[in-house]
Amino acid sequence: MKIPTLDHVDVKGKRVLLRVDFNVPLEHGKVGDTSRITAALPTIQELQKKGAKIIILSHLGRPKNSHNTAYSLKPVAVALHHFLGTPVEFSPETVGPKAQALVDVLKPGHVLLLENVRFHEGEEKNDPHFAKKLAELGDIYVNDAFSVSHRAHASVEGITHYLPSYAGRLVEKELQTLNKHLHHPERPLMAILGGAKISTKLVLLKSLLEKVDLMAIGGGMAGTFLYARGYEVGKSLCEPSMKLEALDVLKEAKKRGIEVILPVDVVVATDSNGGVPYETVSIDHIGPDQMILDAGPKTVERILDMIDTAKTLVWNGPLGRVEVDPFDRGTTAIAKHIGARTQAGKLSSISGGGDTAAILNQAGCFNEFTYVSMAGGAFLEWLEGHPLPGIEALKAKHYSA
């Protein structure tokens, strides 16, 4: 079923309730990382050019249903004004008479940012009453927040029951990119998976085994896989209770003819916070007081060789403790290699989930990947094959082109 987009609606003079993800870090009352704001600009600017009255909905942090000013979106209005170069009004209310009054005087092409939707208990409970109150502020709803579309919240799913609903350009681009590269990829398709625990990635691992041709596993997860194969992993992150599940993953990969790279050497130390001696050892020489903190050079080389055989690649999660030098080196080397292959036209690369975008920024190759998703949990749930409530809600709506 097609998803209705801005191509399917005339927004001129209409009040458009636009759900974005402005869940940005605030530092001393100012926006730190503005990447989520700039990602929303194409949809906002298109709506401006088409003469819509734009009313923006977003959350910020976890204020626990209270009006905590530390989570106010007011600083975001200032940052958005800077990027748009046009006035951005701010409503101290999300719904209510003050918000309604500001909406009533809004002119075509102008922008109003409403206060944090999570100040209201009804948001995360997907309360129909709150969703309807939101809907009363607009004529049309546009979801441009793929990153929260895995949440059945009032401003994401509930509101679609009361307004004609459409996908914004960022959501449209994300879905097109993910479908192209994961459902219809140029093969071989490779996955690189890092992160701490196999228990949180088990569904993802099983889902990717149905899609990929090649796989590399690192990060804390690798400790559990090595343990399952009989290696001593010292004080490394490890989930002994997941031993059978790890072996099942490897067994299924072999059955499907999928080559899986696990570490053959690792960087270890007695403390993960740095400032202590570290060394590179083979996986059968990890000391009882040592912990795996990065992939070793031989492992990195094997992964780089595998990348060179791939045509499409999806990456989620670091291969080491990237917050601490020198345990970021393996991840950085792989990120830069992927970026270079992508820029040379030899690879399509997709990255997302968790802190992967921050990792690529740290490595200086964010803009070298084909696509970096800012979606976090929604990106992972999409990879796992779960339907996303915010997207399913758009599919269910009827529209005429």
Catalytic-role residue among 14, 19, 36, 151:
36
The percent of residues in the chain predicted with pLDDT above 90, rounded, is 82
53 is catalytic: no
Would you call 230 a catalytic residue per the annotation?
no
- Mean pLDDT confidence for 366-394: 90
Q: What is the mean pLDDT of the chain?
A: 94
CA distance 154 to 133: 10
Out of 218, 354, 376, 390, pick the active-site residue: 354
Catalytic annotation on 354?
Answer: yes
Peptide bond connecting 326 to the previous residue in cis, omega within 30 degrees of 0: yes
Model confidence pLDDT, tens digit, residues 291-345 = 999 999 999 999 999 999 999 999 999 999 999 999 999 999 999 999 999 999 9
Check whether 62 has a pLDDT greater than 80.
yes
The pTM (predicted TM-score) of the whole model is: 0.86
CB atoms within 10 A of CB 245: 16
Handedness of CA 226, 228, 230, 236 (dihedral sign): positive
Higher confidence at residue 294 or residue 28?
294
**Structural domains for the chain:** 6-173 (3.40.50.1260), 185-383 (3.40.50.1260)
Q: In whole angstroms, what is the distance from residue 295 CA to residue 109 CA? A: 51
pLDDT band at 195 (very low <50, low <70, confident <90, very high): confident
pLDDT of residue 380: 86
With 90 as the cut, is the pLDDT of residue 1 above it? Answer: no
Q: State the catalytic residue, choosing from 74, 98, 132, 197.
A: 197
Picking from 168, 237, 176, 162, the residue whose alpha carbon sits closest to that of residue 201 is 237
In the predicted model, is pLDDT for residue 93 greater than 80? yes
Tell me: pLDDT of 116 over 60: yes
The answer to whether residue 188 scores a pLDDT higher than 90 is yes
- Please confirm, yes or no, whether 229 is among the known catalytic residues: no
Catalytic residue (choose from 51, 109, 377, 385): 377
